[in-house]
Amino acid sequence: MTKPEGTVSKPGSSKEYKTGAWRTKRPIFKQEKCNDCRICVAVCPDGVIFGANKKYWADLDYCKGCGICVEECPLKDIELIVEVK
């Protein structure tokens, strides 16, 4: 579903509208040093990081590429790369 042009989103509407289309960078979960701390899951403002057992990923339909998960990962096991479309 795409958002009609010129409208304002209500809080929590990212589940209704795919917001990842305008992302310029995306997270890559390298999964080399992960200690399963789940900080990336906790700090994601859109709640789009999922996984368990040291295997995590972002739902790229909704990830905006803000990079908070990258900055907060204590082991620097997430990288932000330029989005190629």
Q: Options 3.30.70.20, 3.90.45.10, 3.10.20.30, 3.40.50.970; which CATH number does 26-82 get?
A: 3.30.70.20
**Six-digit token string for 17:** 């509208």
Note the Cα 33 to chain centre separation in Å: 19
pTM above 0.85, yes or no: no
**Distance between CA atoms of residues 67 and 21, nearest Å:** 16
- What is the C-alpha R_g of the chain? 14
List the chain pLDDT tens, one digit each, 85 residues.
555 555 555 555 556 677 777 889 999 999 999 999 999 999 999 899 999 999 999 999 999 999 999 999 999 999 999 988 7
Note the Cα 32 to chain centre separation in Å: 18
